[in-house]
Chains A and B, each alone.
Chain A
């Protein structure tokens, strides 16, 4: 009899714990906003950028209607990102610029907006550097995504011919723990560029091979095209005709199904 009770009591407690009281329902507009953010992220994950833009706009409106500047900022950043992927860079710049000076957004959101704007200003390095410096200042010392800022700064440095500065930044990036795969691959790719410039061919080859492995895992065609463009350049510098042919073939195959600015130069 008591044995039964001993078994029944934990079972009852377990059922009560699992059952529990239902969660208090959230307000309808907040639910709509959060559902739109989830849908937008899902669309982004599946590469449906037009759908993502639609959902980000929906989230933006929903958050704006409840005076939630944090949610609104996330929605604006997501929308700008989707618009860039769709080629609507001017609209993205307009949205990001409207966030930079608005102190109703948190410093982190403004830092992210400034960083995204710097990405769009690569053609004008001075503007990009200024935006990058502002993003770094807004993000602060305990910035959780400083590797992206360092990588972007290294990219600008390589673009400007400052290979030594780029190398120092990239060494710091690659030493950081918990680096996202995309950023590690980018740092390796830039490091390969620096090594090739310095004439360290073996190091350059090792870096670009590591970058290609990561980029294949990321399955981002633009990154792979960039890697193989570099690999072909490396092969030409190293006088490795076999590698040059192979890189060319891989590049041709990628460019046949994916159009990018790097492809148009080949």
Chain B
């Protein structure tokens, strides 16, 4: 039963009107989606590239791929591969592929300290043809300060261990070095004794009478024989001492070469990191300044200004009681 009569002319063809309105709205929405999609590059031809990363930290699907600071694509997938490494696939707009070469590198970068991560494509030999669809790029994770510190630590600790071992070896009372020094000391004492005996004998020779000459000569003969035995003993021991000395010098040379290698590596790391340090500091300074300004601004806005006591814009006046 119909309770209301559609006599009002405004209700005529209401269904058509509502339908056309809905269609118009749908059409506008679709146009908007298409426009946004075009703007985002969804309908642009893309080339698929990939690389393998050791670690998936900072890598996310959807993150930007940039070339010379401009967005040229996005990360499509990030997946854990068979060898527990991370397979990353990139979609790069084909029109930019002329600058992406087979030997280009993908570097994980970050906007400032707090900004988003992105992949920067760098390098590439100009003479090489553009990378093909499915080409594999080399990946270089960007070293942060923490990574540099960790790397330095890993390289320096073996040096310290090696130096400590060498020092312990040198200081060991039963070790070659200490024994060799002890032997040398003993030998030198014996030689001094012999020399003292010879000196005494010669001094005595001046005073001896003719009748004492044979006895003196006999004593001199004995002393010389003893000196001869001592020298023979020294001669016998010297090769051993030299061997020990040689081994010790070998250990020392090994430790020194290890230290030199590690210092070289350290210098290489520092050389790599040094050019980035001013930039990092500058970025950090700018970030801190911006953060401070943001906080200042926020603290003066509702509702934070009701919760925080705003700092004065002039110098505080000291109390008369100070």
Asked if A121 is at the interface of the complex by the 8 Å CB criterion, the answer is no
Contact A186 B314, beta carbon cutoff 8 Å: no
Most chain B beta-carbon neighbours within 10 Å: one of A34, A42, A77, A148 = A42
Contact with B along A104-128 (1 / 0, CB 8 A): 0000000010001001000000000
Query: Which of A40, A116, A147 makes the CB contact (< 8 A) with B318?
Result: A116
Please name the residue on chain A nearest to B319 by beta carbon.
Answer: A182
Using Cβ atoms and an 8 Å threshold, which residues of chain A touch B321?
151, 155, 182, 185-186, 189, 222-223, 226
Asked if B317 is at the interface of the complex by the 8 Å CB criterion, the answer is yes
Using Cβ atoms and an 8 Å threshold, which residues of chain A touch B311?
38, 41-42, 45
Asked if A209 is at the interface of the complex by the 8 Å CB criterion, the answer is no
Please name the residue on chain B nearest to A152 by beta carbon.
Answer: B320
Knowing A35-B293, A119-B322, the reply to whether A75 touches B315 (Cβ < 8 A) is yes
Bound Cα distance A204, B222 (Å): 111
Using Cβ atoms and an 8 Å threshold, which residues of chain B touch A40?
315
Which residues of chain A from 132 to 191 have any CB-CB distance to chain B below 8 Å in the complex?
Answer: 145, 147-149, 151-152, 155, 180, 182-183, 185-186, 189
Using Cβ atoms and an 8 Å threshold, which residues of chain B touch A74?
314-315
Bound Cα distance A183, B293 (Å): 33
Asked if B292 is at the interface of the complex by the 8 Å CB criterion, the answer is yes
Asked if A44 is at the interface of the complex by the 8 Å CB criterion, the answer is yes
How far in angstroms is the closest Cβ of chain B from A145?
Answer: 6
Using Cβ atoms and an 8 Å threshold, which residues of chain B touch A39?
292
Asked if B13 is at the interface of the complex by the 8 Å CB criterion, the answer is no
Please name the residue on chain B nearest to A32 by beta carbon.
Answer: B289
Main secondary structure of the interface of A (DSSP, over half): helix
Contact with A along B279-297 (1 / 0, CB 8 A): 0000000000100110010
Please name the residue on chain A nearest to B289 by beta carbon.
Answer: A35
Contact B313 A38, beta carbon cutoff 8 Å: yes
Contact A81 B320, beta carbon cutoff 8 Å: no
Which residues of chain B from 206 to 241 have any CB-CB distance to chain A below 8 Å in the complex?
Answer: none
Asked if A195 is at the interface of the complex by the 8 Å CB criterion, the answer is no
Bound Cα distance A123, B273 (Å): 57
Bound Cα distance A39, B315 (Å): 11
Contact B315 A78, beta carbon cutoff 8 Å: yes
Bound Cα distance A40, B289 (Å): 14
Which residues of chain B from 15 to 58 have any CB-CB distance to chain A below 8 Å in the complex?
Answer: none
Asked if B312 is at the interface of the complex by the 8 Å CB criterion, the answer is yes
Bound Cα distance A38, B308 (Å): 14
Knowing A38-B311, A39-B292, A42-B311, the reply to whether A112 touches B317 (Cβ < 8 A) is yes
Q: For this complex, into which size category does the number of interface residues on chain A fall?
A: 35 or more
Bound Cα distance A226, B322 (Å): 11
Asked if B9 is at the interface of the complex by the 8 Å CB criterion, the answer is no
Knowing A35-B292, A35-B293, A39-B292, the reply to whether A44 touches B316 (Cβ < 8 A) is yes
Contact A81 B316, beta carbon cutoff 8 Å: yes
Please name the residue on chain A nearest to B314 by beta carbon.
Answer: A74
Knowing A35-B296, A38-B296, A39-B292, the reply to whether A186 touches B319 (Cβ < 8 A) is yes
Contact B316 A41, beta carbon cutoff 8 Å: yes
Asked if A50 is at the interface of the complex by the 8 Å CB criterion, the answer is no
Query: Which of B292, B309, B313, B318 makes the CB contact (< 8 A) with A37?
Result: B313
Knowing A148-B320, A182-B321, A183-B319, the reply to whether A37 touches B314 (Cβ < 8 A) is yes
Using Cβ atoms and an 8 Å threshold, which residues of chain A touch B316?
41, 44, 78, 81
Asked if A30 is at the interface of the complex by the 8 Å CB criterion, the answer is no
Please name the residue on chain A nearest to B313 by beta carbon.
Answer: A37
Using Cβ atoms and an 8 Å threshold, which residues of chain B touch A201?
none
Asked if A84 is at the interface of the complex by the 8 Å CB criterion, the answer is yes
Using Cβ atoms and an 8 Å threshold, which residues of chain B touch A223?
321
Bound Cα distance A102, B297 (Å): 35
Using Cβ atoms and an 8 Å threshold, which residues of chain A touch B289?
35
17 contacts between A and B (CB under 8 A): A40-B315, A74-B315, A78-B315, A78-B316, A81-B316, A84-B322, A112-B315, A119-B318, A145-B317, A152-B320, A155-B321, A182-B319, A183-B319, A185-B321, A186-B319, A189-B321, A222-B321
Ordered nearest first, which 8 A-B pairs have the shortest CB separation? A78-B315, A41-B311, A151-B320, A182-B319, A77-B315, A186-B321, A152-B320, A148-B320
New contact pairs (9) apart from A116-B318, A183-B319, CB-CB < 8 Å: A31-B293, A41-B311, A42-B311, A81-B316, A147-B320, A149-B320, A182-B321, A185-B321, A223-B321
Point out residues on A near B: beta carbons under 8 Å: 31, 34-35, 37-42, 44-45, 56, 74-75, 77-78, 81, 84, 112, 116, 119, 145, 147-149, 151-152, 155, 180, 182-183, 185-186, 189, 222-223, 226
